[in-house]
């Protein structure tokens, strides 16, 4: 008597499906991190807002500069694609101890001196001419 070909058991089928699903999820997670990392570091600049106006500086050029705030000067350093406030004419120096910012959306504010620095995405000239809902 010959044995008939055995069908795969339910456990064997689930092991194959589980392996496939886990592999797909891990691949998607790795792809998402790579995509976010590459998109987050390109075309970023530092926007500096002061009582006298707004200034834009590229993050890829190392520099130190000062801007005039309400109470005095605020010294800012751009180095290694990050920005930090080195010194400011404010009483508690919270802005100085905030550390570096380098990712899109991060910001440091010197409230007493009315200086704000934040990382923004560089936009094309055509984007600057368009109005948004806040402009109305």
The 10s digit of each residue's pLDDT in 44-97 is 899 999 999 999 999 889 999 999 999 999 999 999 999 999 999 988 999 999
CATH topology of domain 44-122: mini-chromosome maintenance (MCM) complex, domain 2 (2.60.320)
- Compute the half-sphere exposure of residue 73: CA atoms within 13 Å on the CB side of its CA: 7
Q: What is the pLDDT of residue 39?
A: 56
Q: What is the pLDDT of residue 10?
A: 67
pLDDT over 80 (residue 126): no
């Amino acid at each position: 008597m010959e044995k008939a070909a055995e069908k795969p058991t339910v456990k064997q089928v689930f092991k194959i499906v589980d392996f496939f699903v886990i592999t797909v999820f891990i691949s998607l997670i790795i792809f998402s991190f790579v995509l976010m990392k590459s998109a987050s570091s390109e075309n970023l600049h530092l926007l500096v807002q002061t009582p006298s106006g707004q200034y834009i500086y590229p993050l890829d050029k190392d520099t130190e500069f000062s801007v005039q705030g309400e109470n005095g000067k605020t010294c800012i350093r751009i180095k290694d694609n990050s920005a930090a406030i080195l010194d400011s004419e404010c009483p508690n120096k919270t802005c100085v101890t905030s550390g570096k910012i380098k990712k899109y959306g991060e910001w440091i504010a010197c409230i007493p001196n009315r200086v704000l620095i934040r990382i923004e995405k560089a936009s094309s000239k055509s984007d600057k001419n368009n109005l948004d809902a806040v402009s109305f």
